């Protein structure tokens, strides 16, 4: 098919990290084959992807340079570029990491620099050895957590979850998305940082002004509108709807029941959506059933917040 890549996935959830990889590649329109081995994803694709700069639940990884049965078989020429080697053991057997790294480094032509290398090489051991050029870019989530924003709310999605939700929506750079319950702007921020055009709506004046403040703080010019979800009908069409709607606990529904709000919202989503997806967090299974009056279920993942609270990350088409 072309290029082979290997991604080391987060262990924060059994299914979501692998689902995110698949969704990003589908959204970018890339032809790919995807294989899972534990928390490793082995990917063949026909062209380059922004996977390693976009993903929320990916630890490290990149293009596979060589696959060997023994580190002594490695033969790579990096020219004048400096490099470091990091060994990752997925075999379950004890091995001396420093010894393996030393052998690997001796088989690579280039200049070793452990502190500030031009290239970081990963040696990923699954029984076979994958020599991988680490292309993972730190998404900088910590700098954007709720506690570091000028406008803070206890209801805000943290950056990692907001980005995951955007990626599950199968959108690419340049696409247009809507968050009709944007709150403090978490989804708008993460989408915009990935080159996705994002509009937001919120019915609460405090949230409306807070979202605009947060967006300005991060240098983002997404549009935010004050109004009800029905305002979406006047804003044109969107490639995806990405949202974390109110659950009725500490969030405003303007005295409308949650069930009525959700039913009305799904009808509006259907009218403004191009041939794309809705990526949404729902508080109960019954609201997934409600969504199916207008959409088909593509995938759903349960995420336990604490003992008695489960959220359903749901993708509709």
Give yes or no for a contact between 315 and 300, defined as CB atoms under 8 angstroms apart: yes
Query: Would you state the pLDDT for residue 247?
Result: 86
Average pLDDT over residues 233-252: 86
pLDDT at 250 over 60: no
* pLDDT tens-digit map of 101-140: 999 999 999 999 999 999 999 999 999 999 999 999 999 9
pLDDT band at 249 (very low <50, low <70, confident <90, very high): low
Helix/strand number for the chain, H first, E second: 8, 15
Query: Would you state the pLDDT for residue 235?
Result: 98
> Helix, strand or coil for residue 256?
coil
Query: Would you state the pLDDT for residue 252?
Result: 60
| Euclidean distance between CA atoms 225 and 203, whole angstroms | 8
Architecture of the domain spanning 3-134: 2-Layer Sandwich (3.30)
Cα torsion 257, 262, 55, 128: sign:
positive
CA-nearest of 179, 81, 65 to 132 is: 65
Start-end of H helices in the chain? 16-27, 51-54, 97-106, 159-168, 186-193, 205-217, 258-272, 285-291
In degrees to the nearest 10, what's the CA dihedral of 97, 99, 103, 109?
Answer: 70
Q: Is the pTM of this model over 0.85?
A: yes
In sequence order, which residues have a C-beta less than 8 Å from that of residue 140 and are 6 or more positions away?
A: none
Q: How is the chain split into domains, by residue range?
A: 3-134, 141-316
Average pLDDT over residues 281-287: 94
* pLDDT tens-digit map of 152-187: 998 899 999 999 999 999 999 999 999 999 999 999
Give yes or no for a contact between 126 and 37, defined as CB atoms under 8 angstroms apart: yes
Burial of 256 (0-12, 13-18, 19+ CB in 10 A): middle
Query: Would you state the pLDDT for residue 155?
Result: 83
What's the CATH code, domain 141-316? Answer: 3.40.50.150
* pLDDT tens-digit map of 57-102: 999 999 999 999 999 999 999 999 999 999 999 999 999 999 999 9
Average pLDDT, the chain: 95
pLDDT band at 294 (very low <50, low <70, confident <90, very high): very high
| Euclidean distance between CA atoms 251 and 68, whole angstroms | 55
In sequence order, which residues have a C-beta less than 8 Å from that of residue 288 and are 6 or more positions away?
A: 282, 297, 300, 312, 314
């Amino acid at each position: 098919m072309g290029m082979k890549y290997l991604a080391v996935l987060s262990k924060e959830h059994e299914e979501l990290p692998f689902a995110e990889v698949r969704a990003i590649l589908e959204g970018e329109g890339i032809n790919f084959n995807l294989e899972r081995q534990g928390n490793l994803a082995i990917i063949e694709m026909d062209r380059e992807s922004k996977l390693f700069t976009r993903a929320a639940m990916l630890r490290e990884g990149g293009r596979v340079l060589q696959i060997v049965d023994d580190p002594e078989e490695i033969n790579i020429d990096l020219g004048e570029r400096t490099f470091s080697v990091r060994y990752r053991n997925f075999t379950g057997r004890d091995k001396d990491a420093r010894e393996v790294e030393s052998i690997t480094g001796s088989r690579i032509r280039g200049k070793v620099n452990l502190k500030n290398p031009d290239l970081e090489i990963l040696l990923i051991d699954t029984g076979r050895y994958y020599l991988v050029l680490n292309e993972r870019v730190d998404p900088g989530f910590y700098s954007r957590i709720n506690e570091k924003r000028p406008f803070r709310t206890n209801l805000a999605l943290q950056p990692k979850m907001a980005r995951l939700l955007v990626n599950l929506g199968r959108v690419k750079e340049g696409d247009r998305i809507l968050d009709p319950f944007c709150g403090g702007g978490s989804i708008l921020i993460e989408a915009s940082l990935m080159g996705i055009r994002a509009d937001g709506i919120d019915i609460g004046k405090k949230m409306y002004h807070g979202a605009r403040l947060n967006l300005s703080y991060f240098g983002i010019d997404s549009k935010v509108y004050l109004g009800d979800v029905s305002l979406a009908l006047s804003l044109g069409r969107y490639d995806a709807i990405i949202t974390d709607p109110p659950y009725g606990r500490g969030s405003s529904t303007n005295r409308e029941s949650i069930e009525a709000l959700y039913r009305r919202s799904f009808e509006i989503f259907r009218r403004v959506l191009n041939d794309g997806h809705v990526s949404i967090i729902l508080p109960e299974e019954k609201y997934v059933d409600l969504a199916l009056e207008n959409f088909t279920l593509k995938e759903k993942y349960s995420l336990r917040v604490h003992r008695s609270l489960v959220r359903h990350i749901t993708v509709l088409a």
